[in-house]
Amino acid sequence: MTQELFSWYENRQYFFKLEPSSTKDQVQIMMYNTLYTFVKKPEGWRNHDSNKMELAQGLLEEVIKTIMA
């Protein structure tokens, strides 16, 4: 089962589901029918190279804050 969450970014609310395959160094979410994978790097969380689309860095950071809360 996936967990439904939301984050605010630039006065908009974004809904997403945390995928169960997520780990402490890699997070996967489904946002608006698109799967996003984020990886933890020394400089912080970043889009995975295999993502079909990239999430804006500011939104990515808000998503991670929501997940870690």
d(CA 15, CA 8): 9
Flag whether the pTM goes above 0.85.
yes
Average pLDDT, the chain: 94
Every domain of the chain and the residues it spans: 3-68
Model pLDDT, residue 13: 98
Predicted confidence (pLDDT) per residue in 30-54, tens digit: 999 999 999 999 999 999 999 999 9
Q: Is the pLDDT of residue 57 over 90?
A: yes
Q: Is the pLDDT of residue 11 over 80?
A: yes
CA atoms within 13 A on the CB side of 12: 6
